[in-house]
Amino acid sequence: MTYKITLIPGDGIGPEVTSAAVRVLEATGLKFEWESFAAGAEAYEKYKEYIPKELNESIERTRIGLKGPVTTPIGGGFSSINVELRKRFELYANVRPIRNLPGVHTRYPGVDLVVVRENTEGLYSGIEHEVVPGVVESLKIITEKASTRISKFAFNYARKMGRKKIHSIHKANIMKMSDGLFIRCSRNISKEYPEIIYGEHIVDNTCMQLVMNPYQYDILLLENLYGDIVSDLCAGLVGGLGLAPGANIGERASIFEAVHGSAPDIAGKNIANPTAVIRSGILMLRHLDEQDAANRVKAAVHHVYREGKHLTRDMGGTTSTSEFADKVVEAIHSK
C-alpha cells in the first residue's frame, strides 16, 4: 500500500527539516507518495494565491499532511497560512506531547504531559479593526460548540491514552464571559468521564506551576492563544523547540507539524534540528496506525540521542540537519 501525503515544506528552516523527516519516514520501508506544495509568500509568487488551489485539493484528497513552518509577516501583510489551514479544514485539536529524550539533560527529567490546544477560534479569529485612530479592537471569539468539541477531544484522548488528569486553563477571573464559557464547557464534559481527574488553573499561575513543578500536570486543555504560548514554555522544559512535535487533528483531515516556526535566524544553513518534525512524523505514523514503523523511528531517534555523538547545534553538538537525518536512517536500518 502507498500512502498519499500532502507535503508542505514551508519556508525558513521548513524545507531542511521536512526533507530530513521525509527521508526518515521512507527508511521505514513504507511507501509514500508525497504531493508537495508551496504555501505562503513563496506560493503567492508562483500562483498569486497564499494557499494554492492545488494544495487545497490535495489535502481534500489525501486528508493527511506533513508540514514545515510558514513565515507570517508581523503587523501588516497576509494573515497566517497556519491559522487559515487549521480553520479551513477544521483542524480543531492541536495535540502537542511534551516528553524528554534520553541523553538530553534538562532541569526536568521525566516530564510527560500533553498540551491540547483549541485550534480554530479565540483571539485567532483574525477579527480586528480600528475603532477610531489610536484605538484598535481584536475580538476573542469563544463558542460553546468549539469549546465542547475540544473538551470532548481531550477527555477521549485521555481515555484512549490511559491518562489520568486534565486541567482546563483559563483567565475567567478577567475574561468572565469568554473564558467563563470555555471552562463551563470543559467542566460539563468532565462529568461524563468520572475516572479522569479534572481541575482548573488560571493561565499565569499555570506558567509558574509548570516551571516549578511540571510533574503535577498530565493533560493541559487550553483555548487557542494560551495553548500557543504554553506550548513553547513546555517545549523549553524538555530541551527546546527543536524537539517538540505536534498534530492538528480534524474530522476531514489532519496535518502534522512541529511546534516551532520558520526560525529565520538559522534558516538555509543546514543547522536546524529536524527532531520536532521527525517526531511529528511519528505522530503521523500512529495516526495511520503504522505502530511498528512509528516504534522503529522512535527507537532510532532515541538511539541517536542516547549515543549523544551526533547532536545538532541547539543540543550542544555540531551535527548538521542532514547528517542528523543520516544517523537516524542508519539506526533504522541497523535494527
Least separation in angstroms between CB 75 and Mg ion: 18
Interface with ligand NAI by CB under 6 A: which residues? 13, 17, 69-72, 82, 241-242, 257, 260-266, 272-273, 276, 314
In the list Mg ion, ligand NAI, none, the entry touching 314 (Cβ below 5 to 8 angstroms by class) is ligand NAI
Cβ atoms of residues 273 and 242 within 8 Å: yes
Least separation in angstroms between CB 43 and ligand NAI: 13
Q: Which range touches Mg ion (CB under 5 A), out of 57-65, 134-142, 227-235, 280-288?
A: 227-235
Which of residues 38 and 185 has its CB atom nearest to ligand NAI in the complex?
38
Cβ atoms of residues 148 and 111 within 8 Å: no
Q: Which position's Cβ is nearest ligand NAI?
A: 261
Which of residues 276 and 311 has its CB atom nearest to Mg ion in the complex?
276
Phi and psi angles of residue 21, each rounded to the nearest 5 degrees, phi first: -65, -40
Which of residues 80 and 168 has its CB atom nearest to ligand NAI in the complex?
80
> What's the rounded Cα separation, in Å, for the pair 87 and 121?
8
132 has which bridge partners?
A: 135
Least separation in angstroms between CB 69 and Mg ion: 9
Which of residues 94 and 186 has its CB atom nearest to ligand NAI in the complex?
94
Least separation in angstroms between CB 205 and ligand NAI: 24
The 3-state DSSP class for residue 112 equals strand
Helices of type H across the chain: 14-26, 41-47, 53-62, 81-88, 144-161, 178-190, 203-212, 224-237, 275-287, 291-307, 321-334
DSSP states along 77-108: SSPPHHHHHHHHTT--EEEEEEE--TT---SS
Which of residues 93 and 297 has its CB atom nearest to Mg ion in the complex?
93
In the list ligand NAI, Mg ion, none, the entry touching 210 (Cβ below 5 to 8 angstroms by class) is none
Q: Which position's Cβ is nearest Mg ion?
A: 228
Cβ atoms of residues 312 and 319 within 8 Å: yes
In the list ligand NAI, Mg ion, none, the entry touching 228 (Cβ below 5 to 8 angstroms by class) is Mg ion
Per the rule left: phi > 0, alpha: psi between -120 and 50, beta: everything else, 65 is beta
Least separation in angstroms between CB 316 and Mg ion: 24
In the list Mg ion, ligand NAI, none, the entry touching 260 (Cβ below 5 to 8 angstroms by class) is ligand NAI
Q: What would the grid cell of residue 285 be?
A: 505514523
Q: What would the grid cell of residue 82 be?
A: 497556519
DSSP states along 188-203: HHHTT-TTSEEEEEEH
In the list Mg ion, ligand NAI, none, the entry touching 26 (Cβ below 5 to 8 angstroms by class) is none
Which of residues 40 and 214 has its CB atom nearest to ligand NAI in the complex?
40
Is 228 one of the binding residues for Mg ion (CB under 5 A)? yes
Least separation in angstroms between CB 44 and Mg ion: 22
Binding site for Mg ion (CB under 5 A): 228
